[in-house]
Amino acid sequence: MLQPPHSSLQVAAVPDRRSAARDRDQDAPWHTEAVCRRDEAGLFFAPSKEPTAARLSREEAAKRVCARCPVMVECREHALLQPEPYGVWGGLTAAERRVVLARRRRRDMELKKTARQDRIAAAG
């Protein structure tokens, strides 16, 4: 999704989309190919005071749109790097993106710790 309106787990596996990315014009921005450009923004962003059941249903519908999008991976990475605080981006809700980011931070800390231990072992 491109622009959130002015308002306010388990992570699905990411299908391999590299072949679709290669077929695209590499000079065009990724979002020009986004399937959500043709859909209602309301599907991807919650209206204020949305009931939980309605939110879950809307998010699942948005994820189905994302699942058929040729730039889902690029969209997801954009939302993780920005980070986008609202809406469904790249097939992930804001809460799911927070989980992914926490896992990445934890993994990065573990890798740094292992590298530091390896340097100490090599020196000693």
More confident call, 36 vs 2: 36
Q: What pLDDT score was predicted for residue 86?
A: 92
- Cβ contacts of 43 within 8 Å, gap of 6 or more: 36, 58, 61, 62, 65, 88
Domain coordinates in residue numbering, the chain: 27-123
Is residue 75 predicted with pLDDT exceeding 90?
A: yes
Q: What pLDDT score was predicted for residue 106?
A: 94
**Left, alpha or beta for 119 (phi > 0: left; psi -120 to 50: alpha)?**
alpha
Average pLDDT over the chain, rounded to whole? 81
pTM for the predicted model, two decimal places: 0.68
More confident call, 116 vs 60: 60
Q: What pLDDT score was predicted for residue 42?
A: 82
> What's the rounded mean pLDDT across residues 1-19?
44
More confident call, 62 vs 18: 62
Q: What pLDDT score was predicted for residue 19?
A: 43
Q: Are 91 and 63 in contact (CB under 8 A)?
A: yes
Annotated binding residues for [4Fe-4S] cluster:
36, 66, 69, 75
Annotated binding residues:
36, 66, 69, 75
Spatial distance between the Cα atoms of 84 and 93, rounded to a whole number of angstroms? 10
